[in-house]
Structure 1
Amino acid sequence: MRITQGCFSFLPDLDDAQISAQVEYCLENEWAIGIEYTDDPHPRNTYWDMWGNPMFDLRDPKGVMMELDDCRKAHGDKYIRINAFDSTRGFETVRMSFIVNRPDTEPRLHMQRTDFEGRSQKYAWDVRG
């Protein structure tokens, strides 16, 4: 099963040239770039670990790609994503987020729905390796 989160999640994985093109688009829009990683890709897990600090003053995607390579070397067995932040309104808003690295074997998320009286439903999730 393939985890689908963020932009481009239903497409085949982006190669480095395509990632660099997306980063260049973000930088042209003056969005700051952040790199995050996790081993828990559950959709409700919004607290991924940050790799370094957000990159606010970059003008060339090569700097982001160097940081991404370093993150892949340290955490190549985890999910890694790139986030683009827009601070034009005085607070950081995520404008783009996409996964750039996946582990060799992705966990399977399983959802169990239980129906109750009066059309009530409850959902439970678990991760299956």
Structure 2
Amino acid sequence: MSVQDYTSRLSDPASRKMGTFSYLPEMDDAQIRKQVEWIVKHGWNPAVEHTEPEHATSNYWYMWKLPMFGETDVDAILAEIKACAEANPGNHVRLIGYNNFTQSQGANMVVVRGKMV
């Protein structure tokens, strides 16, 4: 068995990877819902961030509103993801799950992949 090489180059922004899930096919709505449910089930605080595809490797993404502290309504979280994507067409949108115990990001995944212009 050989390891597959994923070509990713700084000169080709479309090839850049953004974490573990970015090596998988794009998630559909049902898969995104399951990720949100998992975050809520574990009592983590969800947040939504976005950025232009050309800035995806930056440490700083724009925060969409404030983190949703204590939010347990999966549909409300999904609605914020959708609203962020609609307000920022072409941007990558990622879902964050803040772990209260470790006071760090426990989950971080791109749920909407923007297109390079």
TM-score normalised according to structure 2 size: 0.80
The counterpart of 1:3, out of the listed 2, 11, 16, is 16
Instruction: Give the superposed CA RMSD.
Output: 1.5
Q: Once the two structures are aligned, what percentage of the paired residues are identical?
A: 29
Specify the structure having the higher radius of gyration (Cα): 1
Higher strand proportion = 1
Is residue 52 of structure 2 the alignment partner of residue 41 of structure 1? no
- Return the TM-score normalized by structure 1: 0.73
Instruction: Quote the Cα distance in structure 2 between the aligned partners of 1:104 and 1:50.
Output: 19
Higher helix share: 2
CA deviations over 1:3-56 (Å, ceiling 9, x no partner): 3222411111111111111010011000101100111112xx111000011011
Aligned to 1:97: 108
2:63 aligns with 50
Contact 1:6 1:96 in 2 (8 A): no
In structure 1, C-alpha distance between the alignment counterparts of 2:23 and 2:109, rounded to whole Å: 11
User: In the alignment, residue 102 of structure 1 is paired with which amino acid?
Assistant: R
Name the residue aligned to 1:69.
Answer: 82
| Mapped partners of 1:7, 1:74: distance in 2 | 26
Runs of 4+ in 1 over 4 A off after TM superposition: none
1:120 aligned residue: none
Secondary structure, counterpart of 2:23 in structure 1? coil
Tell me by how many angstroms 1:104 deviates.
Answer: 2.3
Partner SS for 2:83: helix
Shift of 1:63: 0.9
Equivalent residue in structure 1 for 2:35, among 22, 32, 50: 22
